[in-house]
């Protein structure tokens, strides 16, 4: 199996379920090197969502496509190219200021629209300082990193026919909230509500 075949395989129900089971082991602390495997889970989630022109992950995998090393600190975890924009994805187990400051992975001047998305374990348990920091950067540097969690994407993937469209809707609404709202506390409430609402769409 080559890299292209492995990426395509992630769209199968079997692989999505196995990926979800791996995430549960991480959360239950039943796996060593949890940060390594969390990044692995997140990369595979975006492969499962599909609809990209190109996906490039920077973690090192062995010949069996199992993780060996996380992406280097100077690079994003994963960059996904869609028709109209590029998505810079980071996987962060500890969503606190200092562990989730990924703005240097966004280009200051990009020919194509570029958005950052930090995937975390639970959107409701994100540190308040991180919400504030992300809003400050959005205002001062015009570098936008948004937040959502793994459960959000796994629930979207239960209906694969609509998963990517719903994910696009989330990105559009999330970006609008981050750019238009002034107070990070309002952003926090609206994003958490948005993720919860999308998770409950049937």
The answer to whether 131 and 91 are in contact (CB under 8 A) is no
Helices (H), 1-107: 3-9, 13-27, 34-49
Q: What is the mean pLDDT of residues 27-49?
A: 94
Q: What pLDDT score does 202 carry? A: 41
Q: What pLDDT score does 197 carry? A: 62
Q: What is the mean pLDDT of residues 170-181?
A: 96
Question: pLDDT digits over 100-158, tens only?
Answer: 788 888 887 778 889 999 999 999 999 999 999 999 988 877 789 999 999 999 999 99
Ranges assigned E (strand) in the chain: 54-57, 60-61, 67-69, 78-81, 85-91, 113-120, 145-149
Query: What are the boundaries of each domain within the chain?
Result: 3-199
Helix, strand, or coil here: 164?
Answer: helix
Give the residue carrying structure tokens 């309002």: 186
What is the token pair recorded at 138?
A: 């959005």
The answer to whether 173 and 193 are in contact (CB under 8 A) is no
pLDDT at 5 over 60: yes
Mean pLDDT over all residues of the chain? 92
pLDDT at 200 over 60: no
Beta bridge partners of 67: 61
What is the token pair recorded at 27?
A: 């959360």
The answer to whether 88 and 119 are in contact (CB under 8 A) is no
- Secondary structure of the chain: what % helix, strand, coil (to 5)? 50, 15, 35
Of 21, 25, 27, 63, which is closest to residue 44 (Cα–Cα)? 21
CA 158, 48, 32, 131 torsion: positive or negative? negative
Question: pLDDT digits over 41-90, tens only?
Answer: 999 999 999 999 999 999 999 999 999 999 998 889 999 999 999 999 99
Phi, psi of 70 (to 5 degrees): -65, 165
Q: What pLDDT score does 201 carry? A: 45
Comparing 32 with 91, the larger pLDDT belongs to 91
pLDDT at 188 over 50: yes
Indicate the fold that domain 3-199 takes in CATH.
Answer: Restriction Endonuclease (3.40.91)
């Amino acid at each position: 199996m080559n890299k292209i075949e492995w990426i395509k395989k992630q769209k199968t129900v079997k692989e999505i379920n196995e990926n979800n089971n791996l995430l549960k082991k991480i959360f239950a602390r039943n796996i060593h090197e949890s940060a390594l495997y969390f990044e692995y889970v997140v990369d595979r989630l975006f492969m499962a969502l599909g609809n990209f022109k190109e996906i490039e992950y920077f973690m090192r995998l062995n010949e069996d496509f199992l993780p060996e090393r996380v992406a280097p600190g100077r690079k994003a975890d994963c960059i996904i190219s869609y028709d109209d924009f590029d998505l810079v994805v980071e996987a962060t187990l500890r969503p606190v200021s200092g562990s989730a400051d990924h703005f240097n992975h966004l280009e200051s001047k990009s020919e194509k629209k570029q958005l950052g998305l930090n995937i975390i374990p639970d959107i409701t348990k994100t540190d308040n300082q991180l919400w504030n920091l992300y809003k400050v950067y959005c205002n001062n540097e015009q570098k936008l990193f948004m937040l959502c969690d793994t459960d959000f994407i796994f629930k979207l993937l239960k209906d694969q026919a609509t998963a990517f469209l719903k994910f696009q809707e989330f990105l559009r609404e999330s970006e609008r909230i981050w750019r238009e709202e002034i107070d990070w506390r309002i952003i926090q409430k609206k994003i958490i509500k948005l993720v919860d609402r999308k998770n409950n769409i049937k």
